[in-house]
């Protein structure tokens, strides 16, 4: 039997509820707590005296976190983290008043990232992405979704998915791959249906056969795929056993939330323009509503998604970084949670739920996000006794340690006041 580890000195243990709603707090906080795990799986968690009395606790190795708070490992459920090159000059042009659309028409935007991906090898894509994954880990992320979508040809989409699997083998975080139908390549603009068919047969079928993706995603928007094209792609994904997630209502309220409900998507992401009818449909259909507040933080002309209205409608809400080189160049999920609270109307408790249990649910993962027995021991030790410190310094890490399946994969080296004493 594996030696167990007993984590002690936990000032606050934060355990998200299995579901949001019913008027209860989305998280439960236990003071003076302990956590017991073995083989990377949680055995017991709760009040110190209760956990210490567990039979497996007696010969356990002790890990004292020195009076700090412990929260679940963060789950970033929507990213385009795998790309090549950068688009720094596009940021500069937008700050001078050019629009995303005008830059895209002049060959920038997704097409520019696609050209960089087409020219890169799998190894180069992996090398370019690893520092971003490391940055995510340093901010508490222990599970990350990564999408293709900068290929814009079947061959390059599959290259991206192969690079995503290679990433997963090089870092201790779990990487969940999604095949994304991101845009119609310009050369297919007059025969869109042919690209939709190619995506289904030459991307999704291969991805499913070679286990290169768990999900399919479609960007539904006037500049990307129509609802009917999304229906065709979703039907193909379902037949292949791939789960569905959608980018919807990012640029206008064009019925994307209702489409996500109709198609049984696990998650509907963006939702900047979703109105009351769409919010109700998401709640009724139990589609996880994912906010990507990095887009409004990064782009002056983007709207903040209305997290408060989504919660009031009864939606369960996740928050993700949407890490990408054009519209949300962010790897810090704690920053996104903080901004989801200050700009999108979530409480701090809802924001923490959104990046832990919410992110896990948005990826269909039931084995993480809550710090309860049977789950994997993914957790973050906050460098403060009050867990809310994690969200109180946006952009400035308050993380003492990040643990994946019980192993410490990041140590914060912040000096404390005591160091100066
Ligand atoms: Zn996205």
250-277 pLDDT, tens digit per residue, is: 999 999 999 999 999 999 999 999 999 9
Q: What integer pLDDT is reported at residue 420 of this predicted model? A: 46
274-288 pLDDT, tens digit per residue, is: 999 999 999 999 999
Are residues 271 and 283 located together in one domain of the fold? yes
Domain that holds residue 389: 4-72+370-420
Are residues 404 and 356 located together in one domain of the fold? no
Alpha carbon distance 43, 105 (integer Å): 55
Q: pLDDT band for position 414 (50/70/90)?
A: low
Are residues 192 and 222 located together in one domain of the fold? yes
Q: What integer pLDDT is reported at residue 2 of this predicted model? A: 75
Q: pLDDT band for position 191 (50/70/90)?
A: very high
Contacts with 68 (C-beta within 8 Å, 6 or more apart), sequence order: 9, 10, 11, 381, 382, 383, 384, 385, 400
Are residues 91 and 43 located together in one domain of the fold? no
**Ligand 1 center to 187 CA (angstroms):** 23
Residue at a domain's end among 338, 362, 386: 362
**Ligand 1 center to 114 CA (angstroms):** 15
Q: Is the model more confident about 20 or about 188? A: 188
81-135 pLDDT, tens digit per residue, is: 999 999 999 999 999 988 877 888 888 888 899 999 999 999 999 999 999 999 9
Q: pLDDT band for position 300 (50/70/90)?
A: confident
Are residues 256 and 403 located together in one domain of the fold? no
Are residues 84 and 108 located together in one domain of the fold? yes
Residue at a domain's end among 345, 362, 379: 362
Taking alpha carbons only, the member of 336, 297, 314, 344 closest to residue 74 is 336
Total domain count for the chain?
Answer: 2
Alpha carbon distance 225, 278 (integer Å): 19
337-376 pLDDT, tens digit per residue, is: 999 999 999 999 999 999 999 999 999 999 999 999 999 9
Are residues 409 and 298 located together in one domain of the fold? no
**Ligand 1 center to 339 CA (angstroms):** 17
Are residues 261 and 194 located together in one domain of the fold? yes
Are residues 57 and 91 located together in one domain of the fold? no
What sign does the dihedral 377-380-381-387 (CA atoms) show? negative
**Ligand 1 center to 416 CA (angstroms):** 37
**Ligand 1 center to 78 CA (angstroms):** 6
Q: What integer pLDDT is reported at residue 416 of this predicted model? A: 52
213-246 pLDDT, tens digit per residue, is: 999 999 999 989 999 999 999 999 999 999 999 9
CATH number of residue 248's parent domain: 3.20.20.140
In three-state secondary structure terms, 228 is: helix
List b or e across 322-334, with b for residues whose CB sees 16 or more CB atoms inside 10 angstroms: bbbbbbbbbbbbb
Here the contacts of 33-36 (C-beta below 8 Å, separation 24 or greater) are 33/70, 34/6, 34/7, 34/8, 34/10, 35/6, 35/7, 35/10, 35/70, 35/371, 35/377, 35/379, 36/4, 36/5, 36/6, 36/7, 36/60
pTM: 0.96
19-58 pLDDT, tens digit per residue, is: 887 678 999 999 999 999 999 999 999 999 999 999 999 9
Are residues 348 and 393 located together in one domain of the fold? no
List b or e across 102-114, with b for residues whose CB sees 16 or more CB atoms inside 10 angstroms: ebbeeebbbbbbb
SS (H, E, C) 248-279: ECCCCCCCHHHHHHHCCCCEEEECCCCCHHHH
Are residues 400 and 316 located together in one domain of the fold? no
Are residues 256 and 111 located together in one domain of the fold? yes
Q: What integer pLDDT is reported at residue 318 of this predicted model? A: 98
Edge-to-edge strands of the sheet including 267-270? 74-76, 141-147, 174-181, 215-219, 243-248, 267-270, 288-291, 317-319
**Ligand 1 center to 322 CA (angstroms):** 5
**Ligand 1 center to 79 CA (angstroms):** 6
CATH number of residue 54's parent domain: 2.30.40.10
**Ligand 1 center to 302 CA (angstroms):** 14
């Amino acid at each position: 039997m594996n030696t167990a580890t007993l984590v002690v000195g936990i000032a606050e243990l934060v355990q998200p509820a299995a579901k949001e709603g019913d008027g209860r707090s989305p998280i439960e906080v236990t003071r003076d707590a302990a956590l017991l795990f073995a083989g990377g799986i949680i055995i017991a968690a709760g009040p110190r005296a209760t956990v210490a009395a567990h039979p497996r606790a007696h010969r356990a190795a002790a890990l004292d976190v020195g009076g700090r708070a412990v929260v679940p490992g963060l789950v970033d459920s929507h990213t385009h983290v795998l790309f090549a090159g950068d688009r720094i000059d596009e940021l500069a042009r937008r700050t001078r008043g050019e629009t995303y659309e005008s830059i895209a028409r002049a060959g920038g935007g997704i097409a520019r990232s696609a050209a960089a991906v087409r020219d890169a090898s799998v190894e180069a894509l992996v090398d370019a992405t690893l520092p971003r994954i490391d940055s995510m880990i340093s901010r508490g992320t222990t599970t990350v979704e990564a999408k293709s979508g900068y290929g814009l040809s079947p061959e390059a989409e599959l290259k991206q998915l192969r690079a995503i699997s290679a990433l997963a083998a090089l870092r201790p975080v779990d990487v969940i791959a999604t095949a994304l139908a991101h845009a119609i390549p310009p050369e297919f603009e007059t025969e869109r249906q042919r690209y939709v068919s190619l995506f289904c047969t030459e991307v999704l079928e291969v991805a499913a056969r070679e286990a290169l993706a768990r999900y399919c995603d479609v960007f539904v928007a006037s500049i990307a795929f129509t609802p009917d094209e999304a229906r065709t792609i979703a039907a193909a994904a379902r037949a292949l056993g791939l789960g569905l997630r959608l980018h919807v209502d990012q640029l206008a309220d064009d019925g994307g939330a209702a489409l996500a409900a109709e198609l049984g998507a696990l998650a509907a992401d963006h939702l900047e323009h979703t109105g009351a009818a769409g919010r109700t449909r998401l709640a009724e259909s139990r589609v996880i509503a994912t906010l990507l507040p990095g887009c409004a933080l990064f782009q002056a002309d983007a709207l903040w998604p209305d997290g408060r209205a989504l919660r009031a409608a009864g939606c369960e809400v996740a928050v993700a970084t949407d890490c990408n080189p054009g519209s949300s160049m962010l790897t810090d999920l704690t920053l996104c949670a903080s901004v989801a609270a200050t700009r999108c109307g979530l409480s701090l408790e809802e924001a923490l739920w959104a990046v832990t249990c919410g992110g896990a649910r948005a990826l269909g993962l039931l084995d993480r996000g809550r710090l309860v027995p049977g789950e994997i021991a993914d957790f973050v030790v906050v460098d403060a006794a009050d867990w809310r410190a994690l969200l109180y310094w946006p952009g400035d890490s308050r993380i003492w340690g990040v643990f994946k399946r019980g192993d410490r994969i990041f140590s914060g080296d912040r000096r404390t006041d005591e160091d100066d004493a």
